[in-house]
Structure 1
């Protein structure tokens, strides 16, 4: 079917149903909508309900349409029966692959029949659900892929067929020949347990993630445009390894009134931490957050709490409220407005899981890192932070896999007096600012994309 040439561009945006995927695609959607282009943002029902619920509890707007930003939020079913566990990743992925194309076809048909001047002209799909690109083409919309992780992670996925052919990886994605895999001398290498799909103690989960990475490779060749949440300056070698890539990041929150849109968080933000930060000295607070998926043993949580207390530094820790240890130095919240926190003058360090969104937000605010990766691409992001950019330190685990209170205190002390590291963090902030600022590489790429959408 020929691509529809709508009178007015109308973009359908479809993220993978996880916080770290919804968040950057909403940032992209707001940037697109800022240029007067209509966007319909599609979540599965359970995710849509979480976002609306969190927005209500955070006193944000709860309407389904953000009129100021030309964004309409809608949902489609998961396709899972009410008896099934919606947190089961295996069942959810299997269901989405079989049911999502049909649900999206119905949605696009409804939208197109409602307003002939605003038919869906383009579908931007998270690369992990690239199977919907065929649906987009069948409905006459241009398919565009969005990569929410680093360009390096994307480049590694594209190299899987070659690595399989040469025997460097087995059918489960395990490194078989050497201890490391390198794509370029300017990109940190991956060790055996640092690949995006590595789960050395859970082969079933590793195979699931590896198969998803294989589909990433397929999706990359089904589109002429690959939007990457990175910049040419941050990852020059990795960007050059990806055909048709268009680096448009770091995608940042638009500076708009808090009440003007739903933030797309799965959890309500606790704004009280900002007033708490206001009473702390400059660069004195350790911000601790491990994202939305990390899970720790009680022993490890205890060690972290004790390590923070031993350091003597004030800390802001994002964690479940029932795990608070009652420290007089710290404040514990269930969820924080992270960009506001990282841009606050009182924050001097980001103890992070190194998810790509958090990594970009830390870099963009010039905050040095203490790195504590949990899984997937977070280990390689740590290598970028510590080895390539020189903006952070690793918190190492002992022989039992525990990061002890003494190791935590030691690295906090080391970072607090490392002026070179702090200087590097400020340099990275300048690089990020320049890339998205007027005339920067990501700015120009995004303007090019907007012009493309209007043609």
Structure 2
């Protein structure tokens, strides 16, 4: 009998590609074969940044293949609606031939399971029609998956309409919030994961959730103890996290700065404020100015990731009064190495799930600044459930002021209870991936199922 052979297909953004790469490395270490399918554009972009990384240290059981996304090279790929629908129009017809070609190369170990991230559900349909098992890797929190899964129920219960926007009994919902089950954090209806999307994208999410039912497992980069109440929502949920592969072959869309680690080495233990808003968040210039001046006001060392755009240019101007003498500003860097560094004292974060789970397993307290999607749910866990961080609160003009940044950082750094809880949560979370841990057992059961 051959070994399990997974065809893995991420939606082409770093927040999907990297967790799927980490899962692929875990599977490869457990004697599975991986075919990793990128879009041509995404593969070329990551290869240009890290040609050596993708070739060296690569488990021999991972093989990269590509298909076109249907867009022209000059098309704007930060327009996700355009990318999603172009992929859905073009790639499904090309996938069966690719599967056939891959299988012809190793007839003993044909593709036995397809793993996709969200937006790539069409591949589960292709696999289903070819008799190949399918699985979803959900790259956000399991709780946000539970909310998306519950869209039909929320509509049936009259909590929202079929566009995901108009809410009934509004005053009740605003006062009490929504709770899918007890022990899950309440969520303001204004912060549902899909609220930033228009009707077309909301319909896509609802339809995608139906397609995802073809996936026999919904894998999550989380642990049972972090979101335990959520796992009662569906037996398909399977926590395998945290993924802590610190592999150098992860995909980066930007050149990584390595000098910041040397800089951190020169700082005192637990002295540096780390600021990063992930690979997608954009803030306006006025808010950027407040953040810059807030970091000056703190008069403490800081490491700030100011991500370039697709043309490697920074979209922001620094305010004239900004000194920045205490800090280091870089375009992109290895977040895991930074969060694991003894010099880091706290993490000012947008609370995307990859950043949240990385902060948790490095034991770093958070200052939460959510922007969209599931980030508000993650903020609720950080501040209200795990109690390992504080929320930055907007003023009456909708800004997070420099004074608020100063006040909350000082409050957080003076709170010994939060620091202690952060280290305890790290310990509980890492217990899941020791040999006999909950996530490790789930991984082995999943691999046995794939056989």
Q: 2 CA distance for matches of 1:40 and 1:157?
A: 28
- Answering whether residue 244 of structure 2 is matched by residue 249 of structure 1, we say no
Q: 1 CA distance for matches of 2:289 and 2:413?
A: 23
Change (3 A) 1:83 1:296: closer
Written as runs of structure 1 = structure 2, the 5 A alignment for 1:301-340 is 301-320=288-307, 322=314, 323=317, 325-340=322-337
Written as runs of structure 1 = structure 2, the 5 A alignment for 1:269-308 is 269-308=256-295
In the TM superposition, what is the alpha-carbon distance from 1:220 to its structure 2 partner? 3.8
In the TM superposition, what is the alpha-carbon distance from 1:80 to its structure 2 partner? 2.1
Written as runs of structure 1 = structure 2, the 5 A alignment for 1:363-378 is 363-378=360-375
SS at match of 2:351: coil
8 Å contact kept, 2:223–2:432: yes
Name the TM-score, length of structure 2 as normaliser.
Answer: 0.92
8 Å contact kept, 1:17–1:44: yes
SS at match of 1:61: helix
Partner of 2:389: 392
SS at match of 1:168: coil
8 Å contact kept, 2:34–2:61: yes
8 Å contact kept, 1:30–1:69: no
Name the TM-score, length of structure 1 as normaliser.
Answer: 0.92
Change (3 A) 1:310 1:13: same
Partner of 2:9: 14
Of 411-420 and 319-328, more deviation after overlay is shown by 319-328
8 Å contact kept, 1:13–1:39: yes
SS at match of 2:266: coil
Q: 2 CA distance for matches of 1:390 and 1:43?
A: 38
Q: 2 CA distance for matches of 1:410 and 1:34?
A: 46
Could you say what the CA RMSD is over the residues aligned between the two structures, in angstroms? 1.8
Q: 2 CA distance for matches of 1:79 and 1:53?
A: 20
Partner of 1:223: 215
Q: 1 CA distance for matches of 2:15 and 2:324?
A: 30
Q: 2 CA distance for matches of 1:192 and 1:302?
A: 30
- Answering whether residue 158 of structure 2 is matched by residue 188 of structure 1, we say no
Structure 1: 5+ residue stretches without partners: 1-5, 200-204
Partner of 1:51: 46
In the TM superposition, what is the alpha-carbon distance from 1:62 to its structure 2 partner? 4.6
8 Å contact kept, 2:351–2:370: yes
Q: 1 CA distance for matches of 2:49 and 2:74?
A: 24
In the TM superposition, what is the alpha-carbon distance from 1:444 to its structure 2 partner? 0.7
Partner of 2:311: none
- Pick the aligned partner of 2:440 from 405, 425, 443: 443
In the TM superposition, what is the alpha-carbon distance from 1:250 to its structure 2 partner? 1.3
Written as runs of structure 1 = structure 2, the 5 A alignment for 1:395-410 is 395-410=392-407
Written as runs of structure 1 = structure 2, the 5 A alignment for 1:47-446 is 47-56=42-51, 60-63=52-55, 67-82=58-73, 84-174=75-165, 175-177=167-169, 178-179=173-174, 180-199=177-196, 205-254=197-246, 258=248, 262-320=249-307, 322=314, 323=317, 325-446=322-443
